Amino acid sequence: MNLVRWNHQPMLSDIFEDFERRLYTPFKHDGFIPAANITENEKSFDIEIAAPGLKKEDFKINLENNVLTVSTEKEAEKKEETKNYTRKEFVYGSFCRSFTMPKTVETDQIKASYENGILKLELPKKEETKITKEIVVS
């Protein structure tokens, strides 16, 4: 596929792909990768992960070596007994999703919440430190 570029400016698709590559890296586990929306605003990066049917206690969220990992394992057993038969089903599901944090994220201020099947992660940005210094002419 050829991309046309004007004035050597990257196309929007190039910018998005580069952002995607730098911000997160999904890992596939047990064939299921939940959908994730990543948005950026003035104060933070926000990640929303669609994970219906879980409880907030089901999630494990870890930050190690500047990589934020969200995972869950869910196991359930359903047993149905009648006079003529017994039916027993085991259900197991898990996923793992990892996101590489940009250097601009204040990693000790990350917040997580879970509501209506959506896990929300707020990744606050560091405030820019501006150093001002007067230079004396000699």
State which amino acid sits at residue 64.
Answer: E
pLDDT for res 102: 87
What value does the mean pLDDT take over residues 45-54? 90
- Contact between residue 74 and residue 94 where contact means Cβ atoms under 8 Å apart: yes
Kindly state the helix (H) or strand (E) to which residue 3 belongs, with its residue range: none
HEC readout, 69-119: EEEEEEEEEEEEECCCCEEEEEEEEEEEEEEECCCCECHHHCEEEEECCEE
Q: What is the pLDDT of residues 93-128, one digit of tens each?
A: 788 899 998 888 999 999 999 999 999 999 999 987
pLDDT for res 85: 73
Q: Work out the mean pLDDT of the chain and round it to a whole number.
A: 76
- Contact between residue 54 and residue 74 where contact means Cβ atoms under 8 Å apart: yes
Strand ranges in 18-64 using DSSP code E only, listed in sequence order:
25-27, 36-40, 44-50, 59-64
- Pick the residue with more confidence: 91 or 6? 91
Q: What is the pLDDT of residues 20-39, one digit of tens each?
A: 444 433 333 344 678 899 99
Q: At CA 84, angle to CA 78 and CA 90, rounded to 5?
A: 15
In angstroms, rounded to a whole number, what is the distance separating the alpha carbons of residues 12 and 41?
18
- Pick the residue with more confidence: 16 or 56? 56
Domains and CATH numbers, the chain: 12-124 (2.60.40.790)
Place of tokens 């996101």: 99
Report the candidate in 40, 102, 30 with the shortest Cα–Cα distance to residue 73: 30
Share of the chain above pLDDT 70, in %: 72
pLDDT for res 106: 92
